């Protein structure tokens, strides 16, 4: 998030514009915590984790009047909101209330930034890669700590809200035996089948370490403690079990190069987009008349391309109950079959993202 702020600030100044920072999210806008940002103010921010401007989960509906008043008071002609699902909701609420508040009739952009990678309209969110690296490294360390001991199974709980991206991708990268997520419902019979496969591998496959990942909200009843007790009871005499709830360790560490570069590019593209919009919707007297839905957007990465998408269009593919995209739009779900095959489960691999026209008969690898 800090890399995005740094890039936006310096690109704005370079193009002759005047950037200001709203501290502490929508709460800061309501309380008028708005201050100019200079070139040197963001020095070194590219390598800093967290959010130096501060974040809050408050939505504009808390006080639309104050939001409009302070946008007008500070003569803000374009708004960039960096954050997770709440950032998307915030811009959506502002866009849907333009008919009531003239101050909301300005170009607006959401830059998706959350470790959960649950923002609709984008394949990747800023921060998700850093968290994934942390989880994978921690799991590797956990398994390495058991070298020289008897057979052992580790039950690890990841963050991610209702979205199973982190559990799935960390499981694929870390060689997990199973990864339980909300998007792929499971019952106790499935748990028992996975447990039997684990025991068989321990007995006959010369396997000494097992890794089970579980997304924090994969199931209300089959929680991490339930899995620990199940594996402990059924694994008696075969293996020992340890559980680990990673918690906020996943949010630590230095931002990965991928996240830094994506944030920098997204912010730079946002400055260019805002300037282009203002050439069409700004009047000579300084007032802005952005009323079309296309002027309130989310900048997402879709199939390796950056796209500005109207938030009111993105709303159609959003599951507001579980705060994420509809499962049928999640590209990474197709990768779960690879993990199942590698863990000796009965599964069929479905190729993801391959252009059928590029396939040829008799192709070898």
281 inside domain: yes
User: Span 17-32, mean pLDDT?
Assistant: 96
Q: What is the percent of the chain with per-residue pLDDT over 70, rounded to a whole number?
A: 93
349 inside domain: no
Using left for φ > 0, alpha for ψ between -120 and 50, and beta otherwise, residue 327 falls in: alpha
On whether both 269 and 226 belong to a single domain, the answer is: no
| CATH number of the domain bearing residue 198 | 3.40.50.460
User: Span 233-252, mean pLDDT?
Assistant: 88
In this structure, are residues 83 and 114 in contact, taking their beta carbons and an 8 Å threshold? Answer: yes
Q: Which two tokens stand for residue 256?
A: 């990965």
On whether both 74 and 146 belong to a single domain, the answer is: no
85 inside domain: yes
Q: Which two tokens stand for residue 349?
A: 């691999």
- How many structural domains does the chain have? 2
Out of 219, 235, 252, pick the residue that ends a domain. Answer: 252
In this structure, are residues 182 and 164 in contact, taking their beta carbons and an 8 Å threshold? Answer: yes
Q: Which two tokens stand for residue 237?
A: 């005499």
pLDDT, residue 351, reads 52
185 inside domain: yes
> Tens digits of per-residue pLDDT, 313-322?
999 999 999 9
On whether both 199 and 155 belong to a single domain, the answer is: yes
Out of 252, 278, 300, pick the residue that ends a domain. Answer: 252
Q: At residue 238, what are phi and psi to the nearest 5 degrees? A: -115, -45
On whether both 192 and 284 belong to a single domain, the answer is: no
**In terms of DSSP H, where are the helices of the chain?**
2-14, 25-30, 64-73, 85-96, 128-144, 165-174, 188-204, 224-234, 257-281, 311-314, 336-342
On whether both 11 and 63 belong to a single domain, the answer is: yes
Three-class secondary structure of residue 206 per DSSP: coil
On whether both 146 and 247 belong to a single domain, the answer is: yes
In this structure, are residues 312 and 295 in contact, taking their beta carbons and an 8 Å threshold? Answer: no
pLDDT, residue 146, reads 67
pLDDT, residue 357, reads 47
pLDDT band at 225 (very low <50, low <70, confident <90, very high): very high
Q: Which residue has the tokens 């915030």?
A: 90
User: Rounded CA gap, 226 and 301, in Å?
Assistant: 37
Indicate the Cα dihedral angle 331, 332, 335, 337, nearest 10°: -90
Lowest-confidence region among 59-73, 98-112, 189-203, 216-230: 189-203
> Tens digits of per-residue pLDDT, 289-321?
999 999 999 999 988 899 999 999 999 999 999
38 inside domain: yes
Domain limits for position 137:
131-252
pTM of the model: 0.89
Handedness of CA 247, 322, 184, 222 (dihedral sign): positive
pLDDT, residue 358, reads 43
User: Rounded CA gap, 74 and 26, in Å?
Assistant: 15
Three-class secondary structure of residue 119 per DSSP: coil
Long-range (24+ apart) CB contacts under 8 A made by 231-237 are: 231/153, 231/155, 231/195, 231/198, 234/192, 234/195, 234/199, 235/153, 235/195, 235/198, 235/199
342 inside domain: no
On whether both 210 and 260 belong to a single domain, the answer is: no
pLDDT, residue 208, reads 84
On whether both 137 and 237 belong to a single domain, the answer is: yes
| CATH number of the domain bearing residue 58 | 3.40.50.450
pLDDT of residue 360 exceeding 90: no
* Contact partners, residue 8, CB within 8 Å, separation at least 6: 19, 80, 267, 268, 270, 271
pLDDT of residue 206 exceeding 90: no
Indicate the Cα dihedral angle 145, 146, 152, 157, nearest 10°: 0
On whether both 15 and 105 belong to a single domain, the answer is: yes
On whether both 50 and 12 belong to a single domain, the answer is: yes
> Tens digits of per-residue pLDDT, 148-160?
667 899 999 999 9
364 inside domain: no
On whether both 85 and 179 belong to a single domain, the answer is: no
On whether both 86 and 120 belong to a single domain, the answer is: yes
pLDDT of residue 364 exceeding 50: no
Three-class secondary structure of residue 283 per DSSP: coil
Out of 218, 252, 286, pick the residue that ends a domain. Answer: 252
């Amino acid at each position: 998030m800090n890399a995005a702020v740094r890039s936006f600030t310096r690109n704005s100044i370079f193009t002759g514009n005047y950037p200001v920072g709203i501290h502490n999210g929508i709460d800061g806008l309501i309380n008028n915590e708005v201050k100019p940002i200079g070139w040197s103010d963001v020095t070194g921010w590219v390598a800093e984790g967290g959010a130096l401007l501060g974040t809050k989960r408050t939505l504009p509906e808390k006080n639309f009047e104050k939001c409009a008043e302070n946008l007008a008071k500070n003569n803000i002609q374009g708004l960039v909101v960096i954050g997770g699902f709440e950032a998307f909701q915030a811009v959506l609420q502002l866009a849907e209330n333009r008919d009531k508040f003239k101050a909301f009739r300005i170009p607006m952009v959401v830059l998706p930034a959350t470790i959960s990678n649950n923002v609709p309209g984008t394949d990747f969110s800023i921060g998700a890669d850093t968290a994934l690296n942390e989880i994978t490294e921690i799991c590797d360390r956990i398994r390495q700590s058991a070298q020289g001991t008897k057979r052992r199974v580790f039950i690890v709980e990841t963050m991610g809200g209702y979205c199973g991206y982190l559990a799935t991708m960390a499981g694929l990268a870390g060689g997990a035996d199973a990864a339980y997520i909300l998007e792929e419902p499971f019952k106790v019979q499935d748990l028992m089948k996975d447990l039997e496969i684990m025991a068989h591998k321990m007995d006959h496959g010369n396997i000494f370490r097992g890794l089970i990942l579980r997304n924090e909200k994969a199931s209300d009843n089959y929680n991490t403690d339930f899995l620990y007790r199940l594996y402990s009871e059924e694994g008696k005499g075969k293996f020992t079990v340890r559980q680990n709830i990673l918690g906020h360790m996943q949010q630590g560490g230095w931002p990965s190069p991928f996240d830094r570069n994506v944030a920098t590019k997204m912010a730079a593209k946002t400055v260019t987009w805002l300037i282009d919009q203002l050439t069409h919707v700004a009047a000579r007297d300084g007032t802005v008349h952005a009323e079309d839905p296309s002027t309130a957007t989310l900048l997402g990465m879709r199939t390796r391309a950056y796209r500005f998408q109207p938030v009111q269009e993105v709303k159609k593919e959003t599951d507001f109950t579980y705060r994420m995209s509809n499962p049928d739009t999640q590209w990474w779900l197709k990768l779960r079959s690879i993990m199942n095959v590698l863990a000796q489960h009965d599964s069929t691999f479905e190729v993801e993202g391959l252009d059928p026209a590029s396939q040829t008969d008799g192709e070898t690898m």
